[in-house]
Amino acid sequence: MALAHDTKEMRQVLLHEGSRQLDYEIRNIVKKAEELEALGQKIYWENIGDPILKNATIPDWIKEILHGLVDDDLTYGYCHSKGVLGTREYVAKKNNEKAGVQITADDVLFFNGLGDAIGKLYQFLNPHSRVIGPSPAYSTHSALEAAHSNKEPLTYNLDPENHWYPDLEDLRLKVKYNPSIVGILIINPDNPTGMVYPVEVLTEIVEIAREFNLFLVSDEIYTNIIYNGVETKSLSQVLGDVPGIAMKGISKDTPWPGSRCGWMEFYNRDADPDFNNYCATMENAKMVEVCSTTLPQKALPLIQEHPSFQPYLAQRRQEVSERSKVISSRLEDISYINFNPTNGAFYNTIVFKDGVINNNQFLEIDDAKLKAKAEDWVENVSSPDKRFVYYLLAAKGVCVVPLSSFQSELLGFRITLLEEDIEVLDQTFSKIADAINEFCTSDKEVEAVMS
> Which residues form the interface with ligand PLP (CB under 6 A)?
49, 113-115, 138, 140, 187, 191, 219, 221, 249, 251, 257, 262
Q: Give the three-class secondary structure for 150.
A: coil
Provide the pairing of β-strand 165-166 with 155-159: antiparallel
Q: How far is the CB of 136 from ligand PLP (least distance, A)?
A: 12
Q: How far is the CB of 356 from ligand PLP (least distance, A)?
A: 28
**Distant-in-sequence contacts of 125-130, Cβ < 8 A, 24+ apart:** 125/149, 125/182, 125/278, 128/180, 129/180, 129/182, 129/183, 130/154, 130/178, 130/180, 130/181, 130/182, 130/183
Q: How far is the CB of 221 from ligand PLP (least distance, A)?
A: 4
Dihedral angle of Cα 176, 180, 183, 189, to the nearest 10 degrees: -80
Nearer of residues 84 and 221 to ligand PLP, judged by Cβ: 221
Q: How far is the CB of 58 from ligand PLP (least distance, A)?
A: 16
Q: How far is the CB of 23 from ligand PLP (least distance, A)?
A: 17
Dihedral angle of Cα 166, 170, 175, 177, to the nearest 10 degrees: -170
Helix, strand, coil abundance in the chain, percent, nearest 5: 45, 15, 40
Nearer of residues 188 and 340 to ligand PLP, judged by Cβ: 188
Q: How far is the CB of 73 from ligand PLP (least distance, A)?
A: 27
Q: How far is the CB of 235 from ligand PLP (least distance, A)?
A: 14
Nearer of residues 249 and 301 to ligand PLP, judged by Cβ: 249
Task: Please say whether the beta carbons of 178 and 154 come within 8 A.
Answer: yes
Nearer of residues 191 and 304 to ligand PLP, judged by Cβ: 191
Task: Please say whether the beta carbons of 331 and 417 come within 8 A.
Answer: no
Nearer of residues 186 and 432 to ligand PLP, judged by Cβ: 186
Q: How far is the CB of 113 from ligand PLP (least distance, A)?
A: 3
Indicate the residue type of 44: Y
Task: Please say whether the beta carbons of 388 and 361 come within 8 A.
Answer: yes
Nearer of residues 257 and 402 to ligand PLP, judged by Cβ: 257
Q: Give the three-class secondary structure for 13.
A: coil
C-alpha of 315 from chain center:
22
Nearer of residues 242 and 250 to ligand PLP, judged by Cβ: 250
Nearer of residues 346 and 362 to ligand PLP, judged by Cβ: 346
d(CA 264, CA 249): 9
Q: How far is the CB of 188 from ligand PLP (least distance, A)?
A: 9
Q: Give the three-class secondary structure for 346.
A: coil
Helices 384-396 and 368-378: angle between axes, nearest 10 degrees? 170
Nearer of residues 356 and 399 to ligand PLP, judged by Cβ: 399
Q: How far is the CB of 219 from ligand PLP (least distance, A)?
A: 5
d(CA 246, CA 108): 10
Task: Please say whether the beta carbons of 48 and 26 come within 8 A.
Answer: yes
d(CA 369, CA 360): 20
Nearer of residues 44 and 406 to ligand PLP, judged by Cβ: 406
Q: How far is the CB of 110 from ligand PLP (least distance, A)?
A: 11
Nearer of residues 87 and 361 to ligand PLP, judged by Cβ: 87
Task: Output the CA angle 150-349-57, nearest 5 degrees.
Answer: 100
DSSP label at residue 132 = E
